[in-house]
Amino acid sequence: PYLFFVFTIAFSLINSAVAANSEQSKKQDFDLILAGGGLATCSSLSEKNCHKGGFSEHDLTEILYQFSAPKKQNFHNSTFYLSLTEGQKQNINSIIEELYATHSNKKHRVLSKSQVRAQIKSSGLLDIYQNLTDELYFALFDYFEFRQIDNNNQRQTEKVDLSKNRNQGTKRVYTAFYESARIKALKKNKSKPTLIAITASSRDPFESADFYRAVLNQFDANVVWLPLDMNLQQAIEQNRCDELESIRNANLLFNRNTIYPKRVQQQYQMCIAPEKLLHLIKQADGVMFNGGDQSRTLAALTKKNGNPTQFLLLLKKLNLQKQLVVAGTSAGTAVQAGGVINGQMLPMLTNGSPELALKRGAFKADAPSTRCSETSVCGNTKLQPGDLTYHAQGGTGLFPLGLVDTHFSERDREVRLSVFAHETHTQFGFGVDEAT
């Protein structure tokens, strides 16, 4: 039988080396920093992660939704709504009308997502809600999201304060990234590093941009959000920059111009002049990839045929030349697996629970919907919600030593990684704990 070894590195050992003290961290020049996720960060949206509060009323504290007549009209006039079947329109309208009827007589009434769900449950529409297709589910919340404005008529944004962070491991990961980028900047005779955030792992990269900009702005650095996601890559490759909105819709993202008009315009400008993206990457000393869905990040960095884009080739070149530190958390870590070892392609893990991995093995297939556990249907596939799935051609290949898994000890993924290694005949697997 085939012999394999799985090195499950519960990275508390590595963590102690990385973050023994601030002085030691400053002397360490990393090229690749892979965090296991779970970076519980003190922010206005997550004050539970803070030693104490202190955020102002002008900071974003909750995503809210408003089921008003103007928003209903906007939705019904959208190209997306007009493309739906009569049955789909009936299902989504039953939910919208219930929420509208309940709150339309209360001026400016807004609801949290939990309040929306509670109202739907009490109305007897829970079955319809849970069986909405992904596109209808996400369109419901995207079209009725409420744009929150402060006293200066500016969009409220999420704020971060690492000085109040409860989890010191989280702070150490961010600091290790900054210090490595700072060292690289000094070697280029720059006074401070340029840090780039890429939020392509999120279904809504525009929303995630606030958080990662706020995190990186905690340090003495030039911070840039790069609007590089699967939507932009597809638009560039297909020469469809004027159809970015339709491409976003196809990728389950809707109506973002209403909430993030400046960012949507920024992405369009990058689409018609992609050399601007290359220029920004060349200026970077550090690039951080966010958590979410690694398949989305991979789609942002590769062409339809699986070949790397010019953006990924440049990132890898600068990283190998030690001019750029690349960091990732959760999905941003998982996507870095890949390359060839012993003549074999290293796959990228995309989904799976330990229990189903043992029962059903691994599947070379796209991961089921993230809502698959909420509904009884996983699209048109035969997959179950927790099936172990993987991308056979791997991710970026920046980490070519073996398989990569995240949230490791916290989610009991030792078994998952072992099964994955066995099924793909891979010798080495690396598991990274949270906040590590």
User: How far is the C-alpha of 413 from the C-alpha of 358, rounded, in Å?
Assistant: 11
pLDDT band at 104 (very low <50, low <70, confident <90, very high): low
Does 376 have pLDDT greater than 80?
no
This prediction has a pTM of 0.92
Structure tokens at 353: 């629970």
pLDDT at 328: 98
For 426, phi then psi, to 5°, come to -110, 135
User: How far is the C-alpha of 70 from the C-alpha of 393, rounded, in Å?
Assistant: 46
Structure tokens at 283: 């200026």
Each residue's pLDDT tens digit, 63-78: 999 999 999 999 999 9
User: How far is the C-alpha of 87 from the C-alpha of 128, rounded, in Å?
Assistant: 11
Structure tokens at 403: 């398989």
Percent helix, strand, coil in the chain, to 5, is: 45, 15, 45
Structure tokens at 384: 């179950």
Does 13 have pLDDT greater than 80?
no
Each residue's pLDDT tens digit, 289-345: 999 999 999 999 999 999 999 999 999 999 999 999 999 999 999 999 999 988 889
DSSP structural state of residue 162:
G
pLDDT at 15: 47
What kind and span of H or E run contains 429? strand 429-431
What's the sign of the alpha-carbon dihedral 250, 252, 226, 289? negative
Does 189 have pLDDT greater than 50?
yes
How high is the mean pLDDT of the chain? 91
Each residue's pLDDT tens digit, 248-296: 999 999 999 999 999 999 999 999 999 999 999 999 999 999 999 999 9
DSSP structural state of residue 48:
G
Each residue's pLDDT tens digit, 137-179: 999 999 999 999 998 899 999 999 999 999 999 999 999 999 9
Does 5 have pLDDT greater than 90?
no
Range scoring the smallest mean pLDDT among 2-16, 250-264, 390-404: 2-16
Structure tokens at 156: 């409220």
DSSP structural state of residue 345:
E
Mean predicted confidence (pLDDT) in 88-97? 97
* Among 199, 71, 69, 203, residue whose Cα is nearest residue 135: 203
pLDDT band at 12 (very low <50, low <70, confident <90, very high): very low
The Cα-based distances of 195 to 164, 210, 218, 277, 299 in angstroms read 22, 14, 11, 14, 22
pLDDT at 380: 58
pLDDT at 133: 92
What kind and span of H or E run contains 286? strand 286-289
Structure tokens at 312: 């990924």
User: How far is the C-alpha of 392 from the C-alpha of 423, rounded, in Å?
Assistant: 12
User: How far is the C-alpha of 114 from the C-alpha of 97, rounded, in Å?
Assistant: 18
pLDDT at 95: 97
User: How far is the C-alpha of 88 from the C-alpha of 170, rounded, in Å?
Assistant: 43
The distance from CA 267 to its chain's CA centroid, rounded to whole angstroms, is: 17
DSSP structural state of residue 277:
H
User: How far is the C-alpha of 177 from the C-alpha of 174, rounded, in Å?
Assistant: 5
Does 59 have pLDDT greater than 60?
yes
The distance from CA 263 to its chain's CA centroid, rounded to whole angstroms, is: 17
Percent of the chain with pLDDT over 90: 83
The distance from CA 401 to its chain's CA centroid, rounded to whole angstroms, is: 24
- Please classify residue 238 by burial: count the beta carbons closer than 10 Å to its beta carbon, then call 0-12 exposed, 13-18 middle and 19+ buried: exposed
Does 10 have pLDDT greater than 60?
no
Each residue's pLDDT tens digit, 202-224: 999 999 999 999 999 999 999 99
pLDDT at 377: 53
pLDDT at 61: 95
What's the sign of the alpha-carbon dihedral 11, 13, 14, 20? positive
Hey, how many other C-beta atoms are within 10 angstroms of the C-beta on 133?
18
pLDDT at 370: 81
The Cα-based distances of 148 to 109, 299, 326, 408 in angstroms read 12, 31, 33, 37
Does 414 have pLDDT greater than 80?
yes
pLDDT at 85: 97
Range scoring the smallest mean pLDDT among 17-26, 32-41, 130-139, 165-174: 17-26
What's the sign of the alpha-carbon dihedral 108, 112, 113, 118? negative
User: How far is the C-alpha of 369 from the C-alpha of 383, rounded, in Å?
Assistant: 10
Does 424 have pLDDT greater than 70?
yes
User: How far is the C-alpha of 286 from the C-alpha of 319, rounded, in Å?
Assistant: 9
For 432, phi then psi, to 5°, come to -115, 125
